[in-house]
Amino acid sequence: MDWKEYPYIGHLSKQLSGLSYRPLVELELHGLTGTHRASALIDSGSEASMMDMEIAEALGIKIPEHLPITVSGVSGSKRGFSSPVSFKVEGFDDVFTFTVIFVSEPSFDIVLGQQDFFRNFDIEFLRNEGIFRLKRSV
């Protein structure tokens, strides 16, 4: 399979108080309430894939009363829960189902991390050229 090329996208950064260029890819999320489109950050420093709790609600995923998972990162610890989510990546026909961790107010609405995304895709970050590339892992 050939590499698919994507531009780094300018995104207003809360931390930097300005425009930051990031490797963002469009997803088509599949849930009980239909399909939803959203941008996702490809993050080689994140072990797990995470999404904002509001996305769980939009997809019709029931949020448990007690949040059983604690995740920690550079921005501190947050409580959340895990659930499978199905989606397509822009430019690819496959539907993937990954277990993601839902938390309130993550640093980015959707973060694609090492555990699932990087196991299914080869990724080349060419930051100085303003592009990144994706290819399905064999």
Mean pLDDT of 14-31: 86
105: three-class secondary structure by DSSP: coil
**What is the model's pLDDT at position 37?**
96
**CATH number assigned to the domain comprising residue 15:** 2.40.70.10
Cβ atoms of 49 and 84 within 8 Å: the answer is: no
* Cα distance between residue 61 and residue 33, in whole Å: 9
Each residue of 58-88: pLDDT tens digit? 999 988 877 788 777 766 788 899 999 999 9
40, amino acid identity: A
**In which domain, by residue range, is 130 found?**
4-136
**What is the model's pLDDT at position 138?**
73
Residue 18, strand partner residues: 13
How many structural domains does the chain have? 1
Q: Is the pLDDT of residue 14 over 70?
A: no
Q: Is the pLDDT of residue 115 over 80?
A: yes
Which strands sit side by side in the sheet containing 4-7, from one edge to the other?
Answer: 4-7, 131-136, 121-126
Q: Is the pLDDT of residue 47 over 80?
A: yes
* Cα distance between residue 35 and residue 32, in whole Å: 8
State percent of the chain over pLDDT 70: 94
Which residues, at least 6 apart from 108, have a Cβ–Cβ distance to it below 8 Å? 40, 41, 43
Residue 29 to residues 5, 88, 89, Cα–Cα distance (Å):
21, 7, 9
Each residue of 91-113: pLDDT tens digit? 999 999 999 999 988 778 999 99
